[in-house]
Amino acid sequence: MSRFLSPTTLLSRLQESLLPQGRPEIGPVDPSKPRVLYFVTKYPEFSETYIHEEMVSATRDYNVKIIDYEPARDVRENALPHIYLKYADSNLAYGSFNNIDTKFTGTTQQRFLDRVSAVIEAYKPHVMHGHYFPNVWLMRALAERHGIPFTIRTHSFDMLHIEPEKMKSMLDATSTPLCLKVFTFPEFEQSVLDYGLKPEQVQAYWPICAVDHFYDETPRPLTRQVMAAGPCTPKKAHEDFVDLAALMQGQGYRFNLYAKGHWLKKVQRYNEEKGGPVNITYEDPEVMPSVYKQHDWLVYPSHQKIGKVGLPVAVAEAQASGIGVCLQELPGRRQAQLDFLGGGGFLFKSVEELPAILSQPYPEEMRQAGFANCRKCDLPVHQKMLDEAWASAVRSA
């Protein structure tokens, strides 16, 4: 239950009260395909390509409708149709747990449920599926209201360093027969099982990657270009990439950072202070397959104290593209990160280690290991998991 309301929340609730309450436009539905209703926090954010690709994959065999309740800040150019419904309370995924009514008993939350229910009543989904664990509170409330089963996919930021009270609340929300499956990274599987979820209710998975978009075993000449990529936030430590480029100035390498985000201006200023060793730019996710192939290496730094970078999809994309991978080791997660790399990349503790690695050709055995390893992240693997999780709901409907 909310303990206090910030001015931002009060303003948001006022705005919410002024929203139109009419029946939603659902659009055409193929009667030969089962219906899945997706819940995502914000769409189409460019950094959440893994969610986008999963939904694109699902559209082949399912009718897919998408509800998001937070406006995307840095949008991708190509997106699926989606229904935006403003959520006026503290954001489930990003807001403070102390301000969230996880039971959805408040008047504002009930009005939000009514608007979502209008979509459900018009669309009549066989199953609901959500990304990010905090959305389980919303999906549990809707599942109980409408009797529709659901699945939920957790990621990293919603599982790493989460206060125990919040984690217990999210896990409690899965304790219903209507929750068919909780998808979680392998490093979190045992802790979820230890909580008491049944093994058949939990599915370990690796990050989602459209491997075939990137896959290319063609040998290429060295370009002496090194890249970093992703949303520009403090946890990504792009300043460390600038430090690396500064260390290697004058050695004939070009360092390119492909990023957007609220931290970008600070990284740009830091880059200027260091003499501009990094070319800071951006390309839409649709263009990234060709970008990887222009480089010899992907370097993925992480802020050691924040420690909330999970298993970056960029690693699998780089492995499929046939370029070298350097992923920063985080405290307490070495084995999980090594398992993720699958022999196809280096773990490093400090950028000071990297000049010696980057100045040598990427070992061929690592390159081949990367080609094999990235397949565990591939879309068909994930689609099969979803098909199996949703099968009972589709049959019963």
User: What does the chain come to in residues?
Assistant: 397
Contact yes or no for 156/236 (Cβ under 8 A): no
Dump pLDDT digits (tens) for 115-127.
Answer: 999 999 999 999 9
Q: Are 245 and 216 in contact (CB under 8 A)?
A: no
**Residue at 118 is within a domain:** yes
Co-location of 238 and 163 in the same domain: no
DSSP annotation of 198 = -
* pLDDT tens digit sequence for 329-351: 999 999 999 999 999 999 999 99
Q: List the domain range (segments joined by +) for residue 361.
A: 211-377
Give the chain's domain count. 2
- 14 plus 133 within the same structural domain: yes
Mean pLDDT of 227-250: 97
Count other C-beta atoms under 10 Å from residue 153's C-beta. Answer: 25
Give the whole-angstrom CA distance, residue 346 versus residue 367: 11
363-378: average pLDDT: 98
- Map residue 185 onto helix, strand or coil: coil
Cβ neighbors of 141 (< 8 A, separation 6 or more) are 103, 104, 113
Residue 30 lies in a domain: yes
Q: What is the pLDDT of residue 23?
A: 53
Q: Are residues 136 and 244 in the same domain?
A: no
> Looking at the structure, do residues 173 and 63 belong to the same domain, yes or no?
yes
The Cβ-side half-sphere exposure at 117, using a 13 Å CA radius, reads 14
DSSP SS3 for 158: coil
Q: Per-residue confidence at 24, pLDDT binned at 50, 70, 90?
A: low
The answer to whether 104 and 138 have CB atoms below 8 angstroms apart is yes
Domain co-membership, 182 together with 330: no
Residue 2 inside a domain? The answer is: no
Tens of pLDDT, residues 133-177:
999 999 999 999 999 999 999 999 899 989 999 999 999 999 999
Main-chain dihedrals φ then ψ at residue 305, nearest 5 degrees: -80, -40
| 70 belongs to a structural domain | yes
DSSP, res 377: G
Residue 327 in this model has a pLDDT that exceeds 60: yes
Mean pLDDT of 16-20: 39
pLDDT digits (tens, 9 = 90+) for 304-322: 999 899 999 999 999 999 9
CA separation for the pair 380, 197 (Å, rounded): 26
Q: What is the pLDDT of residue 116?
A: 97
Distance CA 327, CA 302 (A): 8
Among candidates 133, 135, 140, which has minimal Cα distance to 154? 133
> Mean pLDDT of all residues in the chain?
92
Interval 25-50: pLDDT, tens = 777 899 999 999 999 999 999 999 99
Give domain status of residue 1, yes or no. no
58 located within any domain: yes
Residues forming beta bridges with residue 129, ordered by sequence position:
38, 151
* Token output for 258: 């492909």
Residue 113: inside a domain: yes
Residue 180: is its pLDDT beyond 80? yes
Residues 305 and 388 in one domain: no
Identify any residues that bridge with 202 across adjacent strands, giving them in sequence order.
182
261: which DSSP letter? S
| C-beta separation of 34 from 394 below 8 A | yes
- Predicted local distance difference test score (pLDDT) of residue 14: 41
Q: Is residue 131 domain-resident?
A: yes
E-strand spans in the chain?
A: 35-42, 63-70, 83-84, 127-131, 150-153, 179-184, 202-204, 225-231, 254-260, 278-281, 297-300, 324-328, 346-348
Give the span between the Cα atoms of 39 and 69, in whole angstroms.
Answer: 9
* Three-state SS annotation for 283-298: CCHHHHHHHHCCCCEE
The reply to whether 176 and 228 lie within a common domain is no
Judge if 21 and 108 occupy the same domain: yes
**Residues 312, 194 share a domain:** no
Q: Label residue 19 by pLDDT band (50, 70, 90).
A: very low
Cα–Cα distance measured from residue 117 to residue 104, given in angstroms and rounded to the nearest whole number:
13
Could you tell me which of 151, 106, 149, 110 has the C-alpha nearest to residue 131?
A: 151
Q: What is the CATH number of the domain that holds 356?
A: 3.40.50.2000
Residues 13 and 161 in one domain: yes
Domain identity same for 202 and 242: no
Q: Which residue has the higher pLDDT, 5 or 99?
A: 99
Same domain for 338 and 392? no
